Each structure stands twice: as structure tokens, then as C-alpha cells.
Amino acid sequence: MVTSQNNKTILFCLLVLGLVVLLAAVGPHYSAYDQKATSGEQFSPPSSAHWFGTDVHGRDLLTRVLSGARISLLVGATGALVSLVVGVLYGLISGYAGGWLDNLMMRFVEILYSLPRLIVVIVLISLFDQQAKTWMQHHGLAAWVPESRLLLLFAGLGLVEWLTMARVVRGQVLSLRERAFVQAARSMGQTPALILLKHLLPNLLPLILVYLTLTVPSVILEESFLSFLGLGVQAPYASWGTLLSDGAEMINPLQIHWWLLLAPASFMALTLLAFNFLGDALRDRIGR
Amino acid sequence: MTRGLSLLLAALLLGSCSYRPADVDFIFINGPEPQSIDPAILTGQPDGRIASSVFEGLTTHNSRGQLIPGMAESWKHDSNHLVYTFHLRDASWSNGEKVTATDFVGSWQRILEPATASPYAELLFFIKNAEEYQKGRLKDFSKVGVQALDARTLRVELKNPTPFFPDVAATTTYLPAHLPSVARYGESWTRPEYIVGNGPYLLKAWKFNDRIELERNERYWRKEQVRLRRIDALSVTQSNTALNLYLTGQADLIIDKSLVPPVLIDKLRTRTDFHAFTFLANYFYRFNVARPPFNNLKIRQAFSAAIDRQRIVNKITKAGELPATCFVPPGLPGYLASGGIDYNPSQARQWLAEGGYPSGQNFPHVELLYNKTDLNEQVAVEIQTLWREVLGVPVELKRQEWATYFKSLDDLDYDIARSSWVGDYPDPLTFLDCFVTGRGNNRTGWSNAAYDRILEQSSRETDPARRMAALHQAEDILVAQECPIAPIYFFAGILFYDGKRLGGIDGNLLDEHPLREIYWKDRN
Amino acid sequence: MLSFILKRLLLTLPVFFIVVSGTFLLMRLAPGSPFGAERKLSPENEARLQQRFHIDGTLGQQFAAYWKSLGRGDLGDSLKYRNRTVSEIIGQTLPNSALLGLGALLLALGIGVVAGSYSAVHHNTARDRVTLLLALAGICLPSFVLAPLLILLLALLIPLLPAAGWGTPGHYILPMLCLGLPYGAYCTRLVRTSMLDVLNQDYIRTARAKGVSEPSVVFRHALRVACLPLISYAGPLAANILTGSMIVEAIFKIPGLGAFFVNAVINRDVFLVGGCVIVYFTLLVFLNLLGDILMALLDRRIRLW
């Protein structure tokens, strides 16, 4: 297959992603502006002073996008991790077991799906805000997560992000387990755990990978929805999701401050593009 | 394939002209979906606008916000403004029954009935013994100061001299309900299929979260003056959507000021269809006086003096709002506003130092609470910056959603909180009343015996000039001496309509725009 | 198959109980009162209203009262929109949301199948990459970004479609696009991946070697199996579309259930939230069941019953 091009793609994508993470981690330090610093230059378009322009408070957009990257990347990583670890495992077990266990496990998924996410997060915040604050101070996370409520938001999102992955993996396993090679392994007396890990998982990898690349944007946008309702990122901090929604509000026929949408959208698009192509290249590599 | 596509496009283009229902004379954007138009239950302005179109009280307003006769064709009062006698005109409900004085007595009784749990019952407390009856201390309604002397004469005895009582009688709480319908249908009596009203319009249909359809009431006593036959009131929550509907001709008027996108106001202000006016509402921050650090007067003063109000109205709100240093908005006849604390950075720093935190050193962690709207957030971010720059104090922003926010306010679980207050009637009392000790709307933990006493005495004062002076004194305590609140600006009402084509609507202090007055200039 | 369906429905009943109870308890545990307002309600009035709506007393009492009324088939009254029952609100607004959601769902699935297979079949060519980029654009442009863009282009600058509102076919197009296109992008990615997988399978190669025409290979053999992940995804997809519809409904001023639902949570309108959850749950269960049956029918190897 086109291995060398594959490798180049993988390397390139990793590079881009690494760059984004680096920018998110240290970019705001090196910026001339504090992401909270308001100024009189409202809504100025991109210029040499402000590469991505300014917003309604005169804050530098580039700095805000980079600071927002921290939260969005964290949210995305959390969603991806939970999806990967919990979702895949759950789906594997449910699909392979079949019968009553599958029924039971999928019904539990339905329960978590049906409970309104919004109220879960509201209750989580009201019940555990204090504990979350102390936990955060203990672990010194303040630089990356500006406040304790975000932690609870992650928890709330994490609770549901694995559900779809579980369902999709389960569907695939239902099909795969009837295949010849699985039957053969079973007749050879291999334990279910071994079958799952050695035979099924590799076949599921393409699907898992592509689904991961879909989970990340989905959870970033979910966070933006909750922030929009007042539960997530707090002013004056931002995330890509909130910057996107703020930018989208600016689109109207009278005056368009296009840079407010372009900045977060392009960073998000770049990251997701790299992520997606990486996933594809990995899939090509691992696949037959 | 291409033929099909072009046919589709053609159909769409042709159809695009008629995205507006043909039989409706006038469409306006009312605001968020009304919760109820029952005068005993309603609290919001969108609700009130519909209710005031379907029902008419003793008095009402014209398009300039001036008081005019409604169901009462005349009224007189005694020399002390304690007893009012209203003479009702010959008017009928939409089902033909006559409007009588008993309708009013019964409607007000219904609101004062403890079981009704009416949120605005306290507006009726001007009436003698009304409060006692509502709180359950009095069981006999005949002792309450409202009686029907005969079918068309209503006598109202007030608790205190109230020269502005006819204005109060024009509020939505005083609207009459059709009691036989209430008796028959219970709380459902306001449904379109059951409702009976005495106002200029009838409720034709109520499509949830879409529109309320109004139709001219042919039995209304001055229906010749009502020129619009069919009106639709749209429920909209997004300001961009409201603007789009207006710009594409699907709406003729945007009446709710919160539906004008704040970031566009700069651009919109230059248009001829943009109309802004000051009205009786105040945007202010509350301090939690019950706990440190804001139990310290100097600190409250410092924080208030660090707010550059002019900057807020110039940079953020931009609709021509007036910066506010006092609580009562300007424009009330006979009332001289008090002067409170204005932007003064050096004075602010000095006060902070006197309060024990020179240059903001070691200032405890405090939070600014607000509920999520774009405007609240933008104002909060600016003021947060001001406090940081002027005082050196980093205040954390805390945004809560609606229900949690009110709980925090009620539980006094905040440091500083964003608030607003809209006056119910054109008198300073509607504002100053909030901060009497223990009032539900106080929500600051502030209590001042002198303030309470002055307000109480002023309510018994018969000379209007002395009464206004007393109110002025009280406000002085509130905004200049004790400062449990930091007023920021007076709201500007915004109306969006084409003044060349639409008449009968004006900006006014009460933000009252009765639908019966509106008309198209190019039709008769 | 019948026993499978019965087994599923059997377990669905306790799940229903857990979901509805859980929602009720969460709503009553959340801070804030349904009657909170800028103008504070007096404690006596608050107590009376709580009594009227049976949300007074202990949590257990409220819980029992709620289930009793559900048992009678009464979904309760709205606490905020007085004198409206929950059934009424749902009855008037659900059809609109359902219509919108259905259109968006079909659009998303349709785009997914067509674009996904197209992309997979032309793997590693320019067509594949362009489709991928378009899909990525769809993922990065969620409905709340797409909506103002489309409105600007197709309703304001070129007055082709209405900017907001509901009622005519013209009103339907933009919201459906805004809601469906982003998910169409997700579906495209899913179908593409699984299609690529399937196309590399031995039995496909065998079919090709046997001389079966390419379109037949793709559509008759590969697509059936490649759609499996999409079918698993359809249930959650519908759920997402329904909750995502809130934003689209608000922007396009569509009188649907989504907007009521989110506002009901924020207003602590417990019975309205309960009613909405019941509706969504029923839909989810139905779609998951349908999806499972469809999966088993499409891929004969799958043994569900």
C-alpha cells in the first residue's frame, strides 16, 4: 500500500496537533495581550497589532482563541478518553455476550441517554461544586481549568460521551462475532477475553478511530451548548465553542465582524482536520 | 434534473413574497412567549401587552403614555386623595353582558383571595384593608375598601393618601376579569375558546411559541378608533431572529428592547426606524450587606465610585441610555432625583483604603453574580475590568442560570449581584418601596429604620410637594448615604418601526404602547 | 423475532420507571424554584402554589403524587405556562419538531450513505479528499453557525427563503438543512470507513472476480453491511437531532418541543420536563429496537433472536 505517504501523513498530522497543543499551552504567555484585557478598540479587524482582530470588549482574539484551546482540547481529550476506554469496553462486552446481558447493558445506556444532560450538570454543579474546588486546589489544576465548575462539566459530559461509542461498537461486534475466524477461535477454546482483544478489537479499530474523530468535535460543541446556557465556561474565559457561538451571533446583514467567527473556526478546523487525517492514515496503516 | 431544479427555484421565488399571512393587518414581535394573560397571574411585560388588549381597566393609557379614561368615564376624589369614586361608562363585555362595578370588586377580590396566590397582589395594597385580607388576617371582604355603590359607580377607599391612584388603576393587576367565565372554567377561562373580554381585541388563537392572534372586538366601546382589525403578536427569543423577521417584512414592529442585538445598536441607531427613549427602569448592582466585605459602607462606596457609567453606556449598551447615580429614573413630574455616587477613581481608592484595603491588598475573594444574557455578561466583564484597574481588586464573575440565580439572591448567597427593576406606576414609591426592611424585593439584607420611617410617613402625607420631598430624602439615604446598591444606568426602551408608515406609537416613560392606538398611515 | 421484541419491551418498563423517576428527582433536587422571578413571590404564595401543583411536602410525597397522576394518564400542568397542560403543549409542538427532525434525520442518513459510499468507492482520489473536506466543514460548522450563514445567504441577501417562521414548505428548507447537514457529515464519515472496510473483504473480491458488476457489488453487497454502524448510530442520532433542534427552533422561530424542553429545565418546570423526557425516551427505545431489527435483517449473520 502507499506506506510512505501514509507515514508522511501521520507525521505531518502529529506535527500539526503537537503545534496546536503547544500553542495552547504556552501561546497565551507569549502573547502581548492578556486574554482578559479589555481595551477601547472594539471590533477591530485583523491588523498587525491584533492578528485576528478584537472582540466587543477590545480583547485580542488570537490570545482568546489560544487560551480557549486549552479548555476545548481538555474537553475533547476527556470525551475521547472516556469514549475509548469505557465505551469500547462496554460495547465489546455487550455485543459479544448477546442475549440478556446485551439487553440489560443496552437498556442502561438508554437510561443514561434519556436523562436530560442539562439537569444532570446543574445538579452536579449544585451538589459538588465545593468538593470540586478543593480537589482542584489540591492538584494545582488552576492554570488549565480556570474554575471548578468546568471539572463538573467534564464529569457530566463524560457520563454520556461513551454511550454512542458503546452502541456503535456493540452493533459491529454483533456482526463480527459470527464470522468464521471468530467461530474458529472459539472452537479452539480461546477465552472470550482473548477473542475480544486479539480478534475483534483489531477489526473494530477503523470504526473506533473514525468514531473518536467524531466524538471530539461533538463534545466540544456540547460544551459550547452548556456554556451558552450558563453552565460551562465562565466569562471572561472562553473556549472554542463559546467563541464560535459568539462569532456566529455576529453574522447579520448589517455588519459582519467575520474575524470573530473565522478565528475559532479555523483553529478548530485545523485541529479536526489533522485529527481526522491522522485517524485515516492510522486506519490505513493498521488495516489490511 | 436541471429543469426540475429551476422549476423549484421559480416556485420558491414566487412564494417568497408571501411568507406573511395575508389576512393579518399588523404583526409585531412581542418578546418571549407569554405565560398567562390572566390579570391575577401575569407578571411579564409581553403578557401584560396582550392582557391590556383583551381587557380594559378603569383607566388606561394613550400612545404617549398619558392617562386616559377607560371603563371609567370620570372619577373624583376627596381632598385627601383617600376616597375615589369612579363612574363607569355604558360598556359591555364581548358576549354582550354589561360591564358593572361589581365586576371590578369581584376581580380585585379574586386577586386578594389568599388561595389565588397572585404575585402582584401587593399592588392592590393601596386599598384599605386589602393587605389584611390577602394575608388572611381579615376574613370579611366587605371591610376591604372597595364597593360597588351601584351598577356603574365604584367607590374605592385607600389606606393612605394616594394622588397617583388613577395611574395605579391602569396597571394590569387592576384589569377586570369576566367572573362568570372564571366561575365556569376555572383557570382555563383565558383560553381562546372561552375567553370574554372588554378590551379592544379578542383572543382569536394562541399558537404556543409561535404567535398570538388578536381580532378586533366589535363590542368594544370605542371600536371606531381601533383601526387594525387583525394583529399577530409573535413570540421570539433571539434578537437576531427578531431583526431578520423585521428586515424581511415578516414583522412590522419590534416592541421588546431586549430583542435588539446590542452589538448592532451602533449600526441600527442611524436608521430612521430606530426609536429609543428612557423609561422607568433601572439597571443596578446589589451588594450583600449581610456579610463581609460589603457590610462595610466604605467598601460599597468604593466599588460604586469605581464604575465608569458613561463608559458602559457608550461602549456596551449604546442605545442612548442615561447613566444612573440614583435609583428613581428621571421624568417623574414633581420629583427631584437624588444625587448619588458617580465615577470618581481617586475617591474610590480613598474609600477603599478607609475601608481597610489600601490599593486593594489582601482583599477577600468576591464574586459578581449575574444571569446569562449577552448584555449582562458584557457589562459585567467591563465592570470587572474597571474594578481591577481602579481598585486593584480582582472580582470573579459568576454566572448562574435563571432559577439558581434567583435562589442565590433570595438566600443572600452572593457578594455583588446584577439586578434590574421596572416601575409599575409613575411614582417614585414603586422604586423606593423595594428596599424597605424585610421586603421580598429587597434581597440585600439592608435595613434602615430612618428609611422605613420616612417612607411610612410620606405615605400619610397629604401635601404632594412635601411628600415628594420626603421621598427625595429617602432616596438620598439609599443612594448617597447607605449605598446598598450601585445604580448603573436607566434602561432605554427601543422600538423598531417605520415611522413614515406606522402611527399611533410613541416612546414614553411607561413603555406603554396600546395596540388600540396603532394604525397604518397610508390606509384609513 | 417476536420473543426478542417481547424481551426487549419487558426490560423497557423498568427502564422507563427509572428514567422518569430519575428525571423527576433531579428536577426537584436542583436549586431554585419554578416560581422564581425578578419580582419575588411571597413565601405564603409560594407555598400555596406548591400545594396546588402537588410539589409540596417531602420528596417522597411529591414523587408518589407524580406517579399517581401519571398512572391516570395525566402528564400534569405546566408550572410556568399556567392553565396549559403538558399534554397540550406536547400535542401542539411535537408534530413540528417531529417533522423537522424527521427531515433532518433522513437528510443526514441520505447524505451519509450517498457521500460515504461515493467517497469510499473513489478512495484516495481527489473526489475522496474533496468529500472528506466537505464532511469536515460540516463537522466544524454546527447548526448554530450554519444557521446565520444560510439565513444571510438565502434569506437576507438573496430573498429566496423566509428568515424565520413556520407553516409553509419554504419555511421548512433552511431549518432542515441546518439541522441535517452537520449530522450528514458525521454519517458520511461513518459510512465511508465501514464501506472501505467492507470493500476490502474477501467475499467482495470474490464477487468482483466472479464478474459481478461494480455498481452491483457496491449497492447490493457492500452497502448492506457497511450501513450497520450507521444503523446503530441512528438511535443516538435521532436523540441528538431532537435536543439539537432547540437551537434551530430558537433561531428560526419554530414552535417546536425542543425550545420548550430546554427552557423547562431552566425554569424548573418539572412536569413539562417529565413529559418531554417520556416522549424522547419512547422515541429512543423505538428507534433502537427498529435499528436492531434492521441490523439483523441486513446482516444475516447477526443473531439477535
Q: What is the pLDDT of residue A201?
A: 84
Q: What is the pLDDT of residue A288?
A: 46
Return the C-alpha cell found at B511: 413603555
| A-chain residue closest to B381, CA distance | A236
Where residue B177 falls (left for φ over 0; alpha for ψ -120 to 50; beta otherwise) is beta
Domains and CATH numbers, chain B: 23-247+497-520 (3.40.190.10), 281-493 (3.10.105.10)
Return the C-alpha cell found at B497: 418601526
Beta carbon pairs, B and C, within 8 Å: 150
**Domain total of chain A:** 1
pTM for the full predicted model: 0.88
Number of continuous H segments (helices) and E segments (strands) in chain C: 13, 0
| CA–CA dist B105, B96 (Å, integer) | 20
B291 touches C: beta carbon within 8 Å: no
The 10s digit of each residue's pLDDT in C59-82 is 899 999 999 999 998 999 999 888
Q: What is the pLDDT of residue B265?
A: 87
Strands B83-88 and B153-157, bridge-based pairing: antiparallel
Buried b / exposed e across C181-194, counting CB within 10 Å, b at 16+? bbbbbbbbbbbbbb
* Local confidence pLDDT in tens for the 524 residues of chain B: 667 666 666 665 555 555 788 899 999 999 999 999 999 999 889 999 999 999 999 999 999 999 999 999 999 999 888 999 999 999 999 999 999 999 999 999 999 999 888 989 989 999 999 999 999 899 999 999 999 999 999 999 999 999 999 999 999 999 999 999 999 998 889 999 999 999 999 999 999 999 999 999 999 999 999 999 999 999 998 889 999 999 999 999 999 888 888 888 888 989 999 999 999 999 999 999 999 899 999 999 999 999 999 999 998 888 889 999 999 999 898 898 888 999 999 999 999 999 999 888 889 999 999 988 888 989 999 999 999 999 999 999 988 888 888 889 989 999 999 999 999 999 999 999 999 998 888 899 999 999 999 999 999 888 889 999 999 999 999 999 999 999 999 999 999 999 999 999 999 999 999 999 999 998 86
Contact (CB<8Å) B240/C148 = yes
| CA–CA dist B27, B213 (Å, integer) | 9
Helix-helix angle C228-252:C143-151, to 10 degrees = 50
B244 touches A: beta carbon within 8 Å: yes
The closest CB to that of B381, out of A38, A42, A251, belongs to A38
Query: Residue B489 forms beta bridges with which residues?
Result: B283, B323
Q: What is the pLDDT of residue B2?
A: 67
| A-chain residue closest to B271, CA distance | A254
Q: What is the pLDDT of residue C195?
A: 86
Question: In angstroms, what CA-CA distances link B235 with B228, B251, B259?
Answer: 20, 11, 11
C97 touches B: beta carbon within 8 Å: no
CATH number at residue A135: 1.10.3720.10
Identify residues of A whose CB sits under 8 angstroms from chain B CBs. 36-38, 40, 42-43, 56-57, 122, 126, 229-231, 234-236, 249-255
Q: What is the pLDDT of residue B173?
A: 94
| CA–CA dist B470, C21 (Å, integer) | 56
Q: Which residues of chain C have pLDDT under 50?
A: none
B315 touches A: beta carbon within 8 Å: yes
Q: What is the pLDDT of residue A211?
A: 83
Q: What is the pLDDT of residue B53?
A: 96
| CA–CA dist C140, A217 (Å, integer) | 7
Q: What is the pLDDT of residue B490?
A: 95
Q: What is the pLDDT of residue B111?
A: 94
- Whether A146 has a pLDDT exceeding 70, the answer reads no
Question: In angstroms, what CA-CA distances link A254 with A7, A54, C165?
Answer: 48, 18, 21
Cβ B483 vs Cβ B301: under 8 Å: yes
Q: What is the pLDDT of residue B368?
A: 94
User: Strand ranges (DSSP E) for B423-520?
Assistant: 485-496, 502-503, 519-520
Question: Best of C6, C16, C145 to disrupt the A interface by mutation (most A CBs within 10 Å)?
Answer: C145
Nearest alpha-carbon partner for B198 in B220, B171, B226: B220
Range of the domain at A226: 2-287
Helix-helix angle C169-199:C86-121, to 10 degrees = 40
Contact (CB<8Å) B381/A126 = no
- If you compute the radius of gyration of chain A from its CA atoms, what whole number of angstroms results? 22
User: Which chains does chain B touch, 3 or more C-beta pairs < 8 A?
Assistant: A, C
Give the residue-averaged pLDDT of A74-92: 89
Contact (CB<8Å) B404/C89 = no
Q: What is the pLDDT of residue C188?
A: 92
| A-chain residue closest to B317, CA distance | A56
Q: In terms of C-beta density within 10 A (0-12 exposed, 13-18 middle, 19 or more buried), how is residue B1 classed?
A: exposed
C-alpha of C286 from chain center: 12
C31 touches A: beta carbon within 8 Å: yes
Cβ-based contacts of A229 with chain C (< 8 Å): 262, 266
- Whether A189 has a pLDDT exceeding 90, the answer reads no
A163 touches C: beta carbon within 8 Å: yes
Nearest alpha-carbon partner for A100 in C205, C3, B243: C3
The 10s digit of each residue's pLDDT in C2-57 is 888 888 888 899 999 999 999 999 999 888 888 877 777 888 888 888 988 888 88
**DSSP reduced 3-state for B76:** strand
Cβ-based contacts of C49 with chain B (< 8 Å): 117
C95 touches B: beta carbon within 8 Å: no
